[in-house]
Amino acid sequence: MDFVTNNAQETQELARKLANIVLKMPGPVVLSLDGELGGGKTTFLQGFAQELGVAENITSPTFVIFNHYQINNPNFMGFYHFDCYRLQGPQDLLDLDAEQILKNPQNIVAIEWAERIKDLLPENTIYLQFVFVEENKREIKIKNGPQELSNN
């Protein structure tokens, strides 16, 4: 599924739609977000997390590797936001006990720069590729995503 967004608000609206669908899926849910710097990954996750009910401001955890947010949902308790930009490979994430986070059915996990740890991603990972088209315009390609998203 390919989507084009013309500004940050449209990027976040697409993210909110995906979040609404994800909240009804069995867990764990893992999102892989890849694309160049400034491609819209963090902007997307701000809208996504807001729809999950995260009250805190979402910023990319480049230096701390991941942030954890509580969510109040019957199916999910935690939203984890990883940024693998500074990692050398999968072992760096394993050293942080991330495998337990990725396997916990009560978690939704979003991973920026996930190509650096692709061997750790579960089979049902939802892949999002962000392509910078113009200053505010992005193409967002979603692979392995819920079919309901294309119907909205």
| Residue with tokens 């701390």, as numbered in its chain | 64
Dist CA 15 CA 38 (whole Å): 16
DSSP designation for 109: E
**C-beta pairs of 143-149 under 8 Å, 24+ apart in sequence:** 143/1, 145/1, 145/18, 146/18, 146/21, 146/22, 146/25, 148/21, 149/1, 149/17, 149/18, 149/21
For the stretch 58-113, pLDDT in tens is 877 666 678 899 998 888 999 999 888 776 777 776 677 788 898 999 999 999 88
Percent of all residues in the chain with a pLDDT value above 70, rounded to a whole number: 91
The three-class DSSP label of residue 66 is: strand
Dist CA 16 CA 41 (whole Å): 13
pLDDT of 85 reads 74
Q: How far is CA 124 from the centre of its chain?
A: 13
Contact 8, 43 (CB under 8 A): yes
pTM of the model as a whole: 0.89
Contact 112, 84 (CB under 8 A): yes
Could you give all domains of the chain from N- to C-terminal order, each with its CATH number? 2-118 (3.40.50.300)
